[in-house]
Copies of this chain bind each other. A is one copy, B any other.
């Protein structure tokens, strides 16, 4: 679907996708920190696809289980109990990733080019 969208003749949409990718590149902050920022932002905005993507990216960047739960705790306290259903699904995905059983197709690139 990303390919189809990027094939469209709309420069704003294409540039936005490129900018989104650029945002998480290492800079003053490393990839691990930036992905945790993306995860907590997705949690409080309650978007399951974005949460799944950033959980997978965080895992790949070396975020440990106790660190994940501290990111979750910030998202939960800032965003409130309305975040809980999304937190459950995030923990479920994390469990699957740790067991090597997550469907990688399901977690690939929900909000990035």
Contacting residues, chain B, for A82 (C-beta < 8 A): 41-42, 44-45, 47, 50, 78-80, 111
Considering only CB atoms and an 8 Å cut-off, how many residues of chain A contact the other chain?
A: 64
Contacting residues, chain B, for A20 (C-beta < 8 A): 77, 81, 84
Contacting residues, chain B, for A110 (C-beta < 8 A): 84-85
A29: Cβ under 8 A from any B Cβ: yes
- Interchain CA distance A85-B46 in the complex, whole Å: 12
Known contacts A70-B27, A85-B50; is A12 also within 8 Å of B44 by CB? no
Cross-chain contact B36 with A33 (CB below 8 angstroms): yes
Among A5, A49, A69, A83, the most chain B Cβ lie within 10 Å of the Cβ of A69
Considering the complex, which residues of chain A in the window 51-93 have a beta carbon less than 8 Å from any beta carbon of chain B? 64, 66-67, 69-85, 87-88, 91-92
